[in-house]
Every structure is written in structure tokens, then in C-alpha cells.
Structure 1
């Protein structure tokens, strides 16, 4: 055992105990966080506009601070971007994480001196919890790769701007710098396909022990490695045993990953976003992610089915139930207040509080009142792939409201790695699995309002071509799992011809 791996184990058990302390006192921890946030921002423009000086508890907070999305918060953000101080949080933000919005163009999410440690420490603690659980720290002596956006930053009014993953790259601790790949120069390459080729060249002969990134883009990296070497990943990187990922559900990708790697490897799921690092998987035998309650973020939840009602009830952790679909709101020391991050979550545990991401509040299918969410289609696809020994690269789902003939249906666009021998039976299995999860969908099928789903086979690399046409190939970009309209579907049809 090296000195570095021994030190990592000691460090891991120390931080695991700290995490366990706040996780065992979730309500008090969150009440304290809310008080600290209100006190920290009471003299800001937002705080003065929303009576922070008289807010004493969550009831007051919900009374004076309405739920907002980015569009609602934008007037305050624009003042902060212009360089004004004490707008959403005290002083000026250190950075703005620039993201592409669907309705508001570019979005500028503030990152402050107080909020940055939440991003850095949560990523570190995810790895430390893994070490504490498995007693495996040997990987710290090998090379680690984090497939991410360019770390090059711009500056505007004294505040630096860039992608979150690029900003975070500036905070990699010194003890990891020698182990971290790719090189700074390669990380700065903007074109994703060029970047992947450069990463392959730099890493193909290295001892890679940890690989991290969004699954579809890591898959592309693995495929390029295999093309160049004609070897499984396990034969290239003999000590590779840990995959860290976030952004999308890993389950649909797992079969093709195991095929590319040539063995099963441990994995850690993360739940990071520009708005905050919300949760991470802290146990290998539990797919729930530990909600980060002591990281300068106060959480509220609204039942997803009631979100679009007038004045839906805003819940705190003490009101939460298992397996209910909630829209998650956050208030943070970055200056976001009752902010709808757009995600829906379900709690898998209340002691401690653990979540899975079930989808996006805007990414669903309810063209006929079926309320189908991402978690349901992913579970249905997982079931069918397992039953028929099928592997897929990617898929998305859209409603077909006006078919040329027959009843409307859900159309599943699927790029197969290995196709089912009986596509009709495979489709039927997916449909039955979806009906078992979603009673609204089942009622529509039984009532002859909808007919069972149909699969459209997308050509090889069809989804990559689509993402490229949208300027979203690689990095932190994700394909929506489902849509309530035909925009993605129609684009896939055009690319297929």
C-alpha cells in the first residue's frame, strides 16, 4: 500500500463520520441552512425586495419568496452580470456558469465564494465514501480522467464566465494534478470529436484507474479506444475499476459498457448541476443518492402532479414520502431562491434522505393525459433489454398524435447495438412494462384511446448526428429521454433519409 492510498483511507473515514453526523439530523441541518442563507442575503437587493429581515422560518419564506425559474429570476441575474454588487448574494459572484437554455437563450448561473466549495467537496466526498465503504484506495496511484468541457474562461465586468465543468477544473486539488488527465491543452479543445481523438492519443498507453463523464460521451471515448487498439478496455487499462458518472441514467448504457470494457466495474452516480451539487451515491448496493443537506442549499419540493396547480403546497423534508414524484426547488448561497431547477426526483430512503432523478418537469409525455416520465420509460426499456438480451446506444420517445392510419401511439426512437430477433415481441414487452408502471397509460391502451407503442430504428450514430446538428455534441449535453412534441422526432426522421 502506498503512502498516498493509506492517507486516502484515513481521510475517507474522517469525512464519512462528518457526513453521517449531518445525515442523522436532516431537519435541524436544513433549518440551520435556511437561517444562514436568509441572514447572509438579508442586505442584498433580492433580500430587501422579499422581506428577508422578517423571515423566521419556512412558513415565512414560502409566504414572501415565490417559486421562480430562470426567466423569473433573470432581471436580478442581469444586474449581477452587469457587475453590480449585493444583488442575489453579498458581493459579486466569482463566476457565472454559462449554459444553453431552451427558452431563454444562454443562462448565467451565479457561483460565489461560498457556493464553490459545495461543488468541489461533494465530488471529493463521493469518492471518499466509496473508499470508506470498500477500503479500496489503490486507484489513487493511477491516472484519472474527467471528460468535461473546456476550462478556458472569458471575463465580463470582472466576473469570469464558462461551463461549470470547465470552472471546476480550476479547483482540482494539487494532490490529484499529477494523476489527472487529459492535459490542459487537450481539455481546451472545443470540437468534441477532435477532443476525443486527442484524449485517446494521450491515454491509450496510460494506467487509467478512474474514468468519469456523462455515459454517452464516455461510450464514444471507449469506442474510439477500441477502434484504435482492437482491445477491450480491461486489456488496455488493467487497473480500471471505477466509473463515475452523472447527468443521465446509466442503466440503459450498462450492457454496452460491459461489452466495451469486457468486465463489470464499480460505479458512483453523481447529481451535479450548475445550480449546485445536490447528491451522490454513497453505497455500492444502493442506487439512491445521498441528498447534500449541509452544503449551503435549502431544498423544497412540490408534488409533480400538482406543480401546475395554482399555489401548490411547498414541502420540506419533514413532509416527504417515498416513491412520489417531486419537483425540486433550491435556495442557495449562490443566490438562487425557491428556484426550480427543472428536475423531478423520487425519494428512495428517508433515513437518510436519498433520491433518484426521475426526469425533467418539462420532459414528459402527456399528450393524452398519461403523465409518462423518464424513469418509467427507462425502467421499461431496461426490462425489455434484459429479457431479450438486447443492447442499445440511445433512445428517446415522442407522441404520434396524428398517424396516417389507426389510433395514436407513443413512438420510440431506438439506436440498437444488438437488435432483438423479434422486434414485435420486444416492443410488446416494453409496452407491458410501461403499463405496469403507469395506470394512466394502461387505461388509455385498454380504452382504445392509444394503441401500443411502435419502435423506429435509428441508424448507427444517428443520435450523435442529431446532437451535432443542435451544437450539443459532447461535454455536459444530454439528449432528452422523452418529449411532449415532435421536434426531436421530426429531426431524426430527416437525418435518417
Structure 2
């Protein structure tokens, strides 16, 4: 065992104890964070406008601060972007994480000196807790690759802005720099296909042990490696044994990945966002990701089924229940207050608090009141492909309300790597899974309001070409699993 590997194990045990300390006292930890946030922002413009000085309890907070999305918070954000200090948080932010919004154009999410460390430490801790649990630390001696956006930054009124993954790239610890790929120059390539080609060139002869990124874009990297060498990725990188991912559920990609790699490898799921690093997988034995309760973020939850009611009930972690679909609301030391991130989560454990991401509150199908969410379609795909030779590259689902003939249905647009030998059986298994998971969908099928789902095949590389046409190939971009309209379905037609 190398000195570096041995030191990693010692450090991992220390971090494991530190994490356990707050994870085992969740309510007290969140109460502490809540008080720190209110005290830290009481003299800001937002704090004065919302009477922070008189907030003593969570009930006081919920009465004074309504739930907002980016558009509703934008009047304050615009002041921050204009260079005004002490607006949402004390002083000025260190960075803006620039993201693309659907209704608001570019979104500028502030990152402050207080919030920046949590973006770095959570990813680090995820790896260290993996080491502490498994004892596997040999990978620290090899090369690691992080498929991410360009680290190049721009300035807006004296504040640096860039993509979150690019901002984080500036904070890679010095002890990892020599192991880290790709090079700075390659990371700065904007064209995603050119970038992946350059990454293949840089990594093909290296001892890659850790590979990280959004599964759909890592898949492109793997396919290019295989096309170049004619070998499985696991044969090219014999010591590759850890895949770290976030952004989308890995399960729909797992069979394809294992085929590309030639074997199974351990994986760690992360839940990073521009608004904060919310959770990470802390155990290979337990389901879900550990909610980051000690990271300058105060969490609230609203049941997804009631979210669009006039006065939906807000709650803290002490009142959540396992298996319920919640919209996650955050207040942070970057100056976001009762902010709707847009994600829905379900708790799979409360000792400690672990979550799975179930979808997006705007990404669902409920054309007939069925309330289908991303987690359900991903589970149906998993059940229909498990133990078979079927491999899926990508998929998305949309309702067909006005078919040319017959009853309405849910249309699944699927790009197959290996098609089912019996398509009808494949469809029946997915539909049966959907009916079992979603009682509303079951009632609509049984009541002959909907007919069983329909599969529409997408051409090889069809989804990548669609994303390329949209100017969203690579980086943090991903295909929504669900749409409640036909916009994506219609735009996919050239690739059917």
C-alpha cells in the first residue's frame, strides 16, 4: 500500500466520524443552521424587507418569507448582479453560477465565500466515506477524470461568473492536481464533441482509476474509447473501479455501462446543484444519498401533490415521511431564501436522512390526472430491461392526448443499443410496472381512459443530435425524462 493510499484511509476515518456527528443529530443541526442564516442576513436588504430581526422560530420564518422560484427572487438577484452589496447575503458573492433557465433566460445563482466550501467538501467527503466503508483506497494512486464544463470565467460588475463545474475546477486540492485529467487546455474546449475527442487522446494511455460525470456524456466518452481501440473500457483501464456521477439516475444506463466497461464497477451518486450541494451517497450498502444538513442550507419540504394549491403546507425534516414525493425548498448562506430548486425528492430513510431524487416538479405527466414522475418511469425501464440483453442509450416520455385513432397513451421515445427480441413483451412489462407503481395510471388504464404505453424508436445518436441542434450537447445538460406536453416529442420527429 502506498503512503498516499494509507493516508487516505486515515483521513477517511476522521471524516466519517465528523459526518456521523451531525448526521446523528439532524434536528439540532438544522436548528443551528437556521439560526446562523437568519443572523447572517438580518442586516441585508432582503433581511430588512422581511423583518429578520424579529424571526425567532421556523413559524416566524414561514409567515414572513414566501416560497419563491428564480423569477420571483429576481428583483433581488438583479441588484446583486448589478454589483450592489448586502442584498441577499452580507457583502458580495464570490461568483455567479450561470445556468440556462426555461422562462427567465440566463440565471445567475450567487456563490459566496461561506457557501463555496460546501460545494468542495461534499464531493470530497463522498469519496472519503466510500474509502472508510469499503477499505478501497488504491484508486488514489491512479488518474482521475472529471467530465465537466469549461473552467474559463468571465466577469459581471466585478464578480466572476461561469458554470458551476467550471468554478469548482478551480478548487481541486493540490494533492489531486497531478492525478487529475483532462488538462486545463482540453477542459476549456467549448465544443463538446471536440472536447471528448481530445479527452480520449489524453487518457487512452493513462492508468484511469476514477471517472466522473453525467452518465449520458460519460457514455459518449466510453463509446469513443471503444471505437478507437476495439476494446472494452475495463480492458483499456484495467484499474478503473469507481464511477462517480450526478445529474440523472444511473440505473437506466447501468446495463449499457457494464457492457461498455466489460464488468461492474462501484459507483457513488452525488446531488450537486448551483444552489448548493444537497446530498451524496454515503454507503454502498444503503439506498439513497445522505442529505447535507450541516452545509449552510436549511431545508423545507412541500408534498408535491399539494404544491400548486393556494396555501400548501411547508415542513422541516422533522415532519417528513418515507416514500412521499416532496418539492425541496432551500434557504442558503449564498442568499437564497425559501427557494424552490425545482426538484422533487423522496426520503428512503430518516436515521440518518437519506433521499433519492424523484424528478422535477415541472417534469411530470398528468394530462389525465395520473401524476407520473421521473422515478416511476426510470423504475419501469429498469424492471423491463433487468436480466435481459436489452440496452438503452436514452429515453423520454410524453403524453399523446389526440392520437389519430384509438385511446390516448403515453409515448416512450427510446434510443436502443440492443432492441428487445420481443417488443410487445417489453412494452407489457413496462406498462405493468407503471400500473403497479402508480394507482392513478392503473385506474386510467383499467377504466379505458388510456391505452397501454407506446414505444417510438429513436435513431442511433438521435438524442445527441437533438441536443446538438438545441445547442445543449454535453456539460450539465440532460434530457428531461418526462414532459407534460408534446414540445420535445415534436422536436424529436426528425430523429425518429
2:347 aligned with 1:347: yes
C-alpha RMSD of matched pairs (Å): 0.6
2:465 aligned with 1:465: yes
Query: What is residue 137 of structure 1 aligned with on the other side?
Result: 137
2:156 aligned with 1:194: no
What does residue range 407-426 of structure 1 map to in structure 2 within 5 Å? Answer: 407-426=407-426
Q: Deviation of residue 156 (structure 1)?
A: 1.2
SS in structure 2 of the partner of residue 171 of structure 1: coil
Query: What is residue 454 of structure 1 aligned with on the other side?
Result: 454
Q: Deviation of residue 387 (structure 1)?
A: 5.2
CA contact (8 A) 2:458 2:495 kept: no
Counterpart-to-counterpart distance in 1, 2:57 and 2:241: 46
TM-superposition CA deviations, 1:4-50 (whole Å, max 9, x none): 11111111100100000000000000000000000000000000011
Counterpart-to-counterpart distance in 1, 2:151 and 2:57: 39
Counterpart-to-counterpart distance in 1, 2:343 and 2:231: 38
Deviation larger for 194-203 or 466-475: 466-475
Query: What is residue 169 of structure 1 aligned with on the other side?
Result: 169
Q: Deviation of residue 142 (structure 1)?
A: 0.5
Q: Deviation of residue 388 (structure 1)?
A: 4.1
Counterpart-to-counterpart distance in 2, 1:357 and 1:387: 24
CA contact (8 A) 1:270 1:289 kept: yes
Q: Deviation of residue 311 (structure 1)?
A: 1.1
Query: What is residue 389 of structure 1 aligned with on the other side?
Result: 389
2:108 aligned with 1:111: no
Query: What is residue 306 of structure 1 aligned with on the other side?
Result: 306
2:5 aligned with 1:5: yes
Query: What is residue 240 of structure 1 aligned with on the other side?
Result: 240
What does residue range 360-399 of structure 1 map to in structure 2 within 5 Å? Answer: 360-386=360-386, 388-399=388-399
What does residue range 313-328 of structure 1 map to in structure 2 within 5 Å? Answer: 313-328=313-328
Counterpart-to-counterpart distance in 1, 2:21 and 2:354: 15
CA contact (8 A) 1:234 1:263 kept: yes
Deviation larger for 361-370 or 282-291: 282-291
Counterpart-to-counterpart distance in 1, 2:57 and 2:208: 49
Counterpart-to-counterpart distance in 1, 2:236 and 2:433: 38
- Normalising by structure 2, report the TM-score: 0.99
Counterpart-to-counterpart distance in 1, 2:352 and 2:71: 34
Q: Deviation of residue 186 (structure 1)?
A: 0.1
Q: Deviation of residue 287 (structure 1)?
A: 2.7
2:250 aligned with 1:231: no
Counterpart-to-counterpart distance in 1, 2:235 and 2:444: 50
TM-superposition CA deviations, 1:47-103 (whole Å, max 9, x none): 001110000111011000000000000110010000000000000000000000011
Query: What is residue 491 of structure 2 aligned with on the other side?
Result: 491
Query: What is residue 95 of structure 2 aligned with on the other side?
Result: 95
CA contact (8 A) 2:99 2:107 kept: yes
Q: How many residues align?
A: 496
CA contact (8 A) 2:291 2:354 kept: yes
Query: What is residue 433 of structure 2 aligned with on the other side?
Result: 433
Counterpart-to-counterpart distance in 2, 1:460 and 1:220: 12
Q: Deviation of residue 389 (structure 1)?
A: 3.1
CA contact (8 A) 1:388 1:426 kept: no
Q: Deviation of residue 362 (structure 1)?
A: 0.1
Q: Deviation of residue 424 (structure 1)?
A: 1.2
TM-superposition CA deviations, 1:182-218 (whole Å, max 9, x none): 0000000000000000000000000000000000000
CA contact (8 A) 1:409 1:450 kept: yes
Counterpart-to-counterpart distance in 2, 1:344 and 1:453: 24
CA contact (8 A) 2:151 2:170 kept: yes
CA contact (8 A) 1:466 1:492 kept: yes
SS in structure 1 of the partner of residue 72 of structure 2: helix
2:33 aligned with 1:29: no
- Normalising by structure 1, report the TM-score: 0.99
Counterpart-to-counterpart distance in 1, 2:325 and 2:156: 39
TM-superposition CA deviations, 1:458-480 (whole Å, max 9, x none): 01000001111111100111100
Counterpart-to-counterpart distance in 2, 1:112 and 1:287: 32
Query: What is residue 286 of structure 1 aligned with on the other side?
Result: 286
TM-superposition CA deviations, 1:389-411 (whole Å, max 9, x none): 31100000000000000110000
Query: What is residue 156 of structure 2 aligned with on the other side?
Result: 156
CA contact (8 A) 1:47 1:88 kept: yes
SS in structure 1 of the partner of residue 109 of structure 2: strand
Q: Which runs of 5+ in 1 are unaligned?
A: none
Counterpart-to-counterpart distance in 2, 1:188 and 1:407: 50
Counterpart-to-counterpart distance in 1, 2:444 and 2:260: 40
Q: Deviation of residue 481 (structure 1)?
A: 0.2
What does residue range 200-279 of structure 1 map to in structure 2 within 5 Å? Answer: 200-279=200-279
Could you list the structure 1 runs, at least 4 aligned residues long, displaced by more than 3 angstroms after superposition: none
CA contact (8 A) 2:459 2:495 kept: no
TM-superposition CA deviations, 1:258-290 (whole Å, max 9, x none): 000001000000000000000000111223100
Counterpart-to-counterpart distance in 1, 2:313 and 2:74: 24
